[in-house]
């Protein structure tokens, strides 16, 4: 009997991309899994499909009886959460999701994908390619793999592919056989005081890996064996953008190290349709504009997504952006504006606060980014529309046949995209 079958795991915040995936895999390994979240989410649908019934709303009573229950939390769950507090009151073991990911990773040979940008797409490409090569991998991804419609699975193959998150240093719980770093840039300013501190953390992550897969610019980050990657002309992708060409090259290098047939991997990558909320085409408006949803929440990602949209030869690129976190908006507002100014029309919504409070950041709203986009835009059309209702009404009047409308952000802006695409 597996050691997992004796475990009882209760996930607080079950509806998140990372937490739901871990719950699905833990149940596949034999654990008894329960959990809750404050609201419904698309990931809870997949959790239910895996045989886990979530509770909506947080309450101490949600924590199962018994002294062997382990409480699983993410960085987004506050110390004051009633279920977390109940676990402390009863002396239950508490696990950060990164610790549980490390335990799951120890079960199989692991490919871990880290980096400031492109983690979800590259992880998805590897899982898709290994599936195409007949290797039936396990995977844990921060977005749905469109090939299978889920963000996590426990396959019969010997490899596990995981997205390795540096935002809270949780990737330091991993000791992968293959570690990819797609790129390097300071993004999570509340975790890292400086670029130097971030670099040292990435070096530590790579020191725990067998082989590092890196772009040439990051070769000296690793102390052990390195495989470099660069765009490969043999890979013909259906997803646009130079950044995706680099992601695919990293995926190919990792699949080679996993022993996959190279021709099969290249053929599979040609059929890759993307990951959920990564340049995801959600439909068209009644006027004929294409709506594309993307998780871009950093200036570099916003600029790359707009550049990718340009490759479709649209009439106009209309960029709708929902800032994520007051702290990031405050620190990177000017750079966000510069990135958005590369679109033909920019629409800026108000900040999605996530775990932050508006009162702690007086004067910080999405208007800071709208002003920066106006300053950088050279007369381009910029709209500051804080709420979804006003934004939807304005966009319905603005969008025309041949336009590509990018709906970008790490919050709930995808709901606006679906509203625009609905007939």
How far is residue 119's CA from residue 180's CA, in Å, rounded to a whole number? 9
Catalytic residue numbers read: 119-120, 163
Residue 12, helix vs strand vs coil: strand
Q: How do 290-294 and 280-284 pair as beta strands?
A: antiparallel
Q: Between the CA of residue 161 and those of 111, 118, 119, 321, what are the distances in Å?
A: 5, 14, 11, 30
Burial per residue of 50-70, b for 16 or more beta-carbon CB atoms within 10 angstroms, e otherwise: bebebeeebeeebbeeeeebb
Helices (H), 7-106: 17-28, 42-49, 82-89, 97-105
Sequence-ordered alpha helix ranges (H) in 181-241: 195-207
User: CA 144, 149, 151, 156 torsion: positive or negative?
Assistant: negative
What CA–CA distance (Å, rounded) separates 54 from 218? 42
Grouping H, G, I as helix, E, B as strand and the rest as coil, residue 313 is coil
Task: State how far the Cα of 16 lies from the Cα of 235, in Å rounded to an integer.
Answer: 32
SS3 406: strand
- If you count DSSP H runs as helices and E runs as strands, how many of each does the chain have, helices first? 13, 18
Order of all β-strands in the sheet with 290-294: 280-284, 290-294, 404-408, 317-321, 345-348, 381-384
Mention every residue, 6+ apart, whose C-beta is less than 8 A from residue 53. none
Nearest to 271 by CA among 151, 153, 136, 124: 124
């Amino acid at each position: 009997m597996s050691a997992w079958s004796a475990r009882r795991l209760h996930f607080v915040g079950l509806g998140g991309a990372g937490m739901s995936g871990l719950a699905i895999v833990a149940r596949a390994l034999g654990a008894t899994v329960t959990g809750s979240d404050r609201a419904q989410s698309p990931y809870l649908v997949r959790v239910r499909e895996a045989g886990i019934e979530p509770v909506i709303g947080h309450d101490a009573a949600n924590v199962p009886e018994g002294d062997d229950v382990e409480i699983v939390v993410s960085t987004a769950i506050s110390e004051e959460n009633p279920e977390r507090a109940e676990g402390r009151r009863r002396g239950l073991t508490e696990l950060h999701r990164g610790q549980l990911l490390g335990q799951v990773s120890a079960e199989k040979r692991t490919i871990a994908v880290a980096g400031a940008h492109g983690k979800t797409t590259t992880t998805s490409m590897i899982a898709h390619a290994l599936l195409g090569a007949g290797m039936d991998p396990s995977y844990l991804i921060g977005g749905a793999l469109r090939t299978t419609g889920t963000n996590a699975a426990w396959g019969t193959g010997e490899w596990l592919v995981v997205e390795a998150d540096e935002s809270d240093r949780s990737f330091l719980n991993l000791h992968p056989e293959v570690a990819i770093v797609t790129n390097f840039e300071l993004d999570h300013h509340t975790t890292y005081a400086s670029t130097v501190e971030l670099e040292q953390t990435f070096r530590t992550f790579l020191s725990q890996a067998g082989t590092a897969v890196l772009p040439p610019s990051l070769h000296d980050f690793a102390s052990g064996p390195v495989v470099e990657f660069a765009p490969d002309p043999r890979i013909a992708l259906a997803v646009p953008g130079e950044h995706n060409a680099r992601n695919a090259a990293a995926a190919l290098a990792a699949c080679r190290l996993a022993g996959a047939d190279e021709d099969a991997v290249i053929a599979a990558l040609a059929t890759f349709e993307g990951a959920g909320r990564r340049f995801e085409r959600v439909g068209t408006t009644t006027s004929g504009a294409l709506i594309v949803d993307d998780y871009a929440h950093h200036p570099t990602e916003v600029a790359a997504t707009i550049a990718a949209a340009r490759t479709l030869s649209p009439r106009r690129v209309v960029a709708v952006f929902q800032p994520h976190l007051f702290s990031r908006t405050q620190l990177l507002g000017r750079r966000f504006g510069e990135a958005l100014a590369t679109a033909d029309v920019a629409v800026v919504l108000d900040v999605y606060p996530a775990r932050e409070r508006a009162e702690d950041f007086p004067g910080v709203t999405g208007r800071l980014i709208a002003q920066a986009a106006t300053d950088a835009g050279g007369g381009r059309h910029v709209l500051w529309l804080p709420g979804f209702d006003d934004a939807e009404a304005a966009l319905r009047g603005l969008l025309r046949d041949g336009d590509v409308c990018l709906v970008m952000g790490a919050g709930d802006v995808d709901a606006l995209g679906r509203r625009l695409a609905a007939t």
